[in-house]
Amino acid sequence: MEGEPEVAVLRLGHRPGRDERMTTHVGLTARALGADRIVIAGEASGPKGTIEDITDRFGGPFDVELTESYRSLLNSWEGAVVHLTMYGLPVQNLEDDIRDAHADAPLLVVVGAEKVPFDVYERADYNVGVTNQPHSEVAGLAVFLDRLFGGRELDRQWSGATHRVVPKATGKQVEPLEDQ
Ligand code: SAM
């Protein structure tokens, strides 16, 4: 978020065709809940386009990149690497340490699709479980980011939007923004 060290999400294991919607939702969740950037390993031009369209319409900053060599990103990352996995240590036990690590350095948050290669577990500074029950990368990422930011992400300010949602008790309203 603005004025803070970067938080990037690395999406591993995207399977073209099968994972289009899930990978899109990982990206939209990352954007909505305070991350600055997503890097998707593999051929994910569909999700990339959808996430960029949403960013163009509802604001950023938020970047989407594709990579064929995620290990070079992992190995060169200058900051802590968090891997979200049902096999990890409880998020509630690690969140303070991770927040401290992020206070003055960027953070890379890794989420998988199917099986994540074991070297990712070894490279991670923190293997983090959001419960030790199997669920979804979207849910794990959402809870983790909310814990990381302590709820501040809910008041994130957006720039460059062409539209905004007007909160309503009932009904739906989207209004165009001027001066963009
Ligand atoms: N058994 C798989 C594994 O963890 O290797 C579960 C794959 S799950 C369908 C896809 C992704 O969701 C995982 O790679 C992980 O990032 C995330 N995930 C699933 N359950 C989680 C949990 N309890 N805590 C944190 N992340 C989780």
For the chain, give the percent of residues with pLDDT over 90. Answer: 97
Q: Would you say the CB of residue 18 lies under 6 angstroms from ligand 1?
A: no
pLDDT of residue 178: 81
Residue 129 near residue 90 (C-beta atoms within 8 A): yes
Q: Would you say the CB of residue 84 lies under 6 angstroms from ligand 1?
A: yes
List the one residue out of 115, 105, 14 whose CA is nearest residue 65: 14
Q: Give the separation between CA 179 and CA 169, rounded to whole angstroms.
A: 28
Domain annotation for the chain: domains and CATH numbers: 7-154 (3.40.1280.10)
| Ligand 1 atom showing the smallest separation from residue 129 Cα | 24
Task: Output the pTM of the full model.
Answer: 0.97
Q: What digits encode the pLDDT tens for the residues 101-155? A: 999 999 999 999 989 999 999 999 999 999 999 999 999 999 999 999 999 999 9
> How far is residue 32 from each of residues 21, 28, 132, measured CA to CA in Å?
16, 6, 25
Instruction: Read off the pLDDT of each residue in 52-72 and give the average, rounded to a whole number.
Output: 98
- For residue 149, report the distance from its CA to the centre of ligand 1, in Å: 21
Mutate to test the pocket of ligand 1, among 26, 84, 95, 144 (most ligand atoms within 8 A of CB): 84
Q: Are strands 7-11 and 37-41 parallel, antiparallel or unpaired?
A: parallel
pLDDT of residue 179: 65
pLDDT higher than 90, residue 58: yes
Beta bridge partners of 138: none
- Under the banding of pLDDT at 50, 70 and 90, the label for residue 180 is low
List the residue whose alpha carbon is closest to atom 12 of ligand 1: 137
Other residues' Cβ atoms within 10 Å of the Cβ of residue 132: 11
- Under the banding of pLDDT at 50, 70 and 90, the label for residue 174 is very high
Give strand ranges (E) for 2-156.
7-11, 37-41, 63-67, 80-90, 107-111, 126-129
